[in-house]
Structure 1
């Protein structure tokens, strides 16, 4: 059978519409659901495993280690062997890691299984972005990424709420068994998704050479700017993820089952700004919207640092600037990823992996800092988020010297 008969064209694949959109959204959502579902259970997990807050927060850092490093391998593999097979292998690893988390007997065992879970989960995330680049170009790619993230935002919106209910009904281990089921269901759905990278468009160089080419990619100033803007921002978001369970539940005594409502408010903001971004990107340009988003992140981060230090406003003094910071996601993530991918269509998998590795690698540092400096107050989370917001703005402003009226990439 010829490749033309076996592999649909971009137009044919794009016409699958909502089914493709749903599966890609599910794949991209693994980064969120793998952590968001168990956030309300973190204090309970610490009590059950005899671990303090700092050790439990390392389950986020350990996850990010696997997620960041794993992407560097999945990207070149997908450029050579296509997208579907690596995703399928990743989903199997995700299910095995989730089962290990459910049976873990100590905090360190849980951290180890979280690493394996993350290595599997990141395959779906990085390759879903590459599939979008296989199918769309330019501002259309940014629009589709915004649409995907709007749809996938349902996962982190519902994740803490559902996780809180599972915790109340069946305990924290049942949360990870639920993730095993999610992984298997997504694997079944993947089998209905057409391959988006036909053999004639694949990169057949040895994988060792492909890995070494990451050094060449990071020499591109523009790519470094996009990756840095998104990376610093992701660092702030993972400080938010690692810090808010204890800032809200322990420090401000919010019931675990209501934590999801506060967390979900930020997700609603993300969905709104992603929707605005998809509508505005053609008219204003992705680079201009990226700059606006990083400016919002820096400003809200500074306000958060002040309120976390002084205690001004109590719970709402934290919740409001955190909402604004999280809402900047819609203007930063899609535009930074689309900008990075636009210059390297023939290496979309590797570029997506590199950008994703920078994004989640920064999360390793930020979540570890929140855990290392944990002192029972929201202050460590506040200053880490402020610094990452400023870093994101500087990368967008100094390293992406774009025509901000059109947002075009070379």
Structure 2
């Protein structure tokens, strides 16, 4: 495969960064380089990279009760092995993003996935809950390399609606995790115990490492890399923080992730304990909701060809607030019973994948010269916000009302950020972000 020169948009100068060439969002590469059109294999590779944290989370989800029982700990402590991984991923992206701008895209992801394999094997022999939580934090840290590099690879070659469409296509691959991972994880844990789940994660990491080594191109040539160390990385983040529109857009995927992760963390207790579903029924329901996630992402990928990402983002955020409000009302009143709750929950999850690709594509388009650092900033907020907010449902009691209330709260804050911190809803303001 021939490498192409990435298209970029105008951004403020950054210390140590090469000058960016002004180009409209979604513009083709320079005339002296062929247009890069990813085929299904490359979309599958990038999607699998981006899905590594999701796979590591969802395949382990049915094992939480077994972990608590086997290690003699509480359900809340077992849940820390989930949220700890998200927090580790948030920190990892902040560190690994600038490294990918400094050393290129391939080296950080190869090192990170290799360490994922080692840590997975250590998790399989963890003697107690505290070491397991610590290992899961480390696993999240190094898994972040795959996610942040996948986003940076897209920004190296695409902006605007092109980037948003490609990110939505990746959701088709990422969406496979909630479709099959819990069922697979439950099957593995049922046959060989929860520790075998981590052995399978190690095997998955080995396969991904080999494919990355053989198939992933380097999209950041040496002349475009940002020299420097910690000081350069900090100056890059300081530069991003001065762009308030970028920060606002970067927060939105995190608040949307909070809606999703609140469901992921709370649903085993809401549906199995509160409504009496069996583990097999829960896995099936989880898969059906995963279909909603995938369909929503593909609908977004289709309509973004004709509708500006910022316009889709506005409608999606408003609709999410309305539907999570309905979800809370159903949880409070019990109207319609379990089926009504499940239908509205499915619609909420179908909307989850509208906001992140559009907000991320717009935000990254503002800082193409430091795509790795910008992608890390967004990914860190996404993982960190999702991990922190999701735990609130447990603090509030862990039932359906608590789950719906936290989901509504995250959606309301997201809409407020979009409305108050960006010109998205102002007359004539949308063009500034499109």
Q: Smaller-chain TM-score range?
A: over 0.9
Alignment check: 8 A CA contact 2:296 2:353 kept: yes
Alignment partners' CA distance in 1, 2:62 and 2:201: 15
Q: Is 1:211 paired with 2:220?
A: no
Alignment partners' CA distance in 2, 1:381 and 1:221: 30
Alignment partners' CA distance in 2, 1:300 and 1:99: 41
User: Counterpart in 1 of 2:433?
Assistant: 409
Alignment check: 8 A CA contact 1:229 1:391 kept: no
Q: Is 1:367 paired with 2:354?
A: no
Alignment partners' CA distance in 2, 1:404 and 1:227: 22
Q: CA RMSD for the aligned pairs?
A: 2.2
User: Counterpart in 1 of 2:46?
Assistant: 24
| Post-superposition offset of 1:182 | 0.6
User: Counterpart in 1 of 2:15?
Assistant: none
User: Counterpart in 1 of 2:209?
Assistant: 187
| Post-superposition offset of 1:284 | 1.5
Q: 1:52 aligns with which of 39, 50, 74?
A: 74
Alignment check: 8 A CA contact 1:7 1:194 kept: yes
User: Counterpart in 2 of 1:173?
Assistant: 195
Q: 1:164 aligns with which of 178, 183, 186?
A: 186
Q: Is 1:141 paired with 2:163?
A: yes
| Post-superposition offset of 1:127 | 0.9
Q: Bigger CA drift: 266-275 or 65-74?
A: 266-275
- Stretches (4+) displaced over 4 A: 5-13, 403-408
Alignment check: 8 A CA contact 2:164 2:361 kept: yes
| Post-superposition offset of 1:279 | 1.6
1:111-148 deviation line (CA, Å, top 9, x unaligned): 11110110111110011000001121221111111111
| Post-superposition offset of 1:398 | 2.4
Q: 2:247 aligns with which of 224, 228, 231?
A: 224
Q: Is 1:128 paired with 2:150?
A: yes
Flag the 1:360–1:54 CA change in 2: closer, same or farther, 3 A: same
User: Counterpart in 2 of 1:247?
Assistant: 270
Alignment partners' CA distance in 2, 1:171 and 1:139: 45
Higher share in helix: 1
1:70-121 deviation line (CA, Å, top 9, x unaligned): 1001110000100010001110221122222222222222211110110111
Q: Bigger CA drift: 64-73 or 17-26?
A: 17-26
User: Counterpart in 1 of 2:408?
Assistant: 386
Alignment partners' CA distance in 1, 2:103 and 2:390: 34
1:318-358 deviation line (CA, Å, top 9, x unaligned): 32222122111231111011011011000110110001111
User: Counterpart in 1 of 2:172?
Assistant: 150
Flag the 1:94–1:102 CA change in 2: closer, same or farther, 3 A: same
Flag the 1:38–1:276 CA change in 2: closer, same or farther, 3 A: same
User: Counterpart in 2 of 1:112?
Assistant: 134
Alignment partners' CA distance in 2, 1:129 and 1:407: 24
Alignment partners' CA distance in 1, 2:223 and 2:351: 39
| Post-superposition offset of 1:24 | 0.5
Alignment check: 8 A CA contact 1:297 1:389 kept: yes
Alignment check: 8 A CA contact 1:142 1:335 kept: yes
1:153-190 deviation line (CA, Å, top 9, x unaligned): 11221111211221222221111111011111100000
| Post-superposition offset of 1:405 | 9.9
1:357-399 deviation line (CA, Å, top 9, x unaligned): 1111111221222233335x22222211110011111222222
Alignment partners' CA distance in 2, 1:170 and 1:107: 19
Question: Aligned residue pairs: how many?
Answer: 405
| Post-superposition offset of 1:205 | 3.1
Flag the 1:214–1:340 CA change in 2: closer, same or farther, 3 A: same
Alignment check: 8 A CA contact 1:127 1:349 kept: yes
Q: TM-score, normalised by structure 1?
A: 0.93
Alignment check: 8 A CA contact 2:56 2:201 kept: yes
User: Counterpart in 1 of 2:102?
Assistant: 80
Q: Is 1:201 paired with 2:224?
A: yes
User: Counterpart in 1 of 2:14?
Assistant: none
User: Counterpart in 2 of 1:291?
Assistant: 314
- Structure 2 residue matching 1:191: 3-state secondary structure: helix
Flag the 1:405–1:277 CA change in 2: closer, same or farther, 3 A: farther
User: Counterpart in 2 of 1:303?
Assistant: 326
Alignment partners' CA distance in 1, 2:133 and 2:182: 20
User: Counterpart in 1 of 2:114?
Assistant: 92
Unpaired stretches in structure 1, ≥5 consecutive residues: none
| Post-superposition offset of 1:199 | 0.7
